[in-house]
Copies of this chain bind each other. A is one copy, B any other.
Amino acid sequence: MSISQPDGSADRLFELGDVQLACGQTIPQARLVYRQFGKLNDERSNLILMPTSYGARPADLAWTVGPVLDPERWCIVIAGQFGNGLSSSPSHGGMGLAEQGWLVQHSDNVAAQKRLLEEQFGVTRLPLIYGWSMGAQQAYQWAVSHPDCVERLCCVCGTARTSVHNKLFCLSLRQALTADPCWNGAGFDGVPEQGLRTFAFIYASWAASQPHYRGMTEPIEQHVEQQWLPHYRRHDPSDLIAMLDTWMAHDVAAGGDLQTALATISARTAVVAGSHDLYFLVDDMSREAEAIADAQFHVLESLLGHRAGNPHSSLPEQQHLRRIVDQLMTS
């Protein structure tokens, strides 16, 4: 494994060897996918980590480099979470689902990312971890698990603990897939076309805001079919389930007191809630921010809903995020 040109144009694979998860299962010959943008400086002090969101691969988040994070100044590493189909995933074999006693937790993702940064980049301290959605979850997990490694934290549209309602949303998605005729009780015997369609309808209804759809003239069935379904159909459905289980299990306090866990965060923290996010609520994110010393709390005004935090095609939200990051980096 060698570091090639850091142009971010290609996925790299970091080989972890066998990795034991917190659940007790072991991923054989585990690997993490990542992309690197910008150059690591001689002091190895400019590496920004961006863990991936649900279903995302590094290429999906690469738009962030430039509009939000400056690759001239920073070495930006986008690291894929387990289950995303490029990092180790059930679809590769060797990993199971909850039905077989498997669960990847964000502490597992963070441990693997920590090894990537240490062994591949020689980096042990990060000026920033930036994450959207499940990426924000991993950022929180980093800051709680390794407070000495994280100087700054920017958590966009994601919480430190999955709320009960958010779990309900995830369960509706999981149930949609396992309700398909292709589900055999332990896995899929084929492509769950009907389950994926239900999944896409549910996701489309939650991940944008209600007013986002107000002016839409395109038939909504066609919109979901063309704009949402392909994002999920490209995945192995077992991988979709594995990432949902990670999402639902997420809790930096591991069942303990959340305020206490958040109080251990020493990173300079920016918490960014989407004004119309339907599952990572402004109120929930604000409450968590209050438990973190000196955290800045921002509301990103946008009808994009949860997707306001991943505004690949919308300049106002990009600019707002850039201002938040710039402010955070000078604090």
The interface of chain A, by Cβ under 8 A from chain B, is 163-169, 171-172, 175-176, 178-181, 194-195, 197-198, 201-202, 204-206, 210-214, 216, 220-221, 224, 278-279, 281, 283-284
Tell me the dominant secondary structure on chain A's binding face.
helix
Q: A172-B198, A172-B201, A202-B172 are in contact. Are A210 and B165 (CB under 8 A)?
A: yes
* Among all A-B residue pairs, the 7 with the closest Cβ atoms: A179-B194, A172-B201, A164-B213, A165-B210, A181-B181, A165-B213, A175-B198
Between A176, A181, A211, A221, the greatest number of chain B beta carbons within 10 A of the residue's beta carbon is seen for A176
Cβ of A179: which chain B residues have Cβ within 8 Å of it? Answer: 176, 179-180, 194-195, 197-198
**Bound Cα distance from A213 to B205, whole angstroms:** 19
**Bound Cα distance from A172 to B196, whole angstroms:** 11
A212 → chain B closest CB, angstroms:
8
Report whether A283 and B194 are in contact in the complex, using a CB–CB cutoff of 8 Å.
Answer: no
Q: A198-B198, A216-B164, A220-B164 are in contact. Are A210 and B172 (CB under 8 A)?
A: no
A176 → chain B closest CB, angstroms:
5
**Bound Cα distance from A283 to B214, whole angstroms:** 11
A-B residue pairs in contact (CB < 8 Å), sample of 28? A163-B213, A163-B214, A164-B213, A164-B214, A164-B216, A164-B220, A165-B205, A165-B211, A165-B212, A165-B213, A168-B204, A168-B205, A168-B220, A168-B224, A169-B205, A171-B201, A171-B220, A172-B198, A175-B198, A176-B176, A176-B179, A179-B194, A179-B195, A179-B197, A202-B202, A210-B278, A210-B279, A211-B283
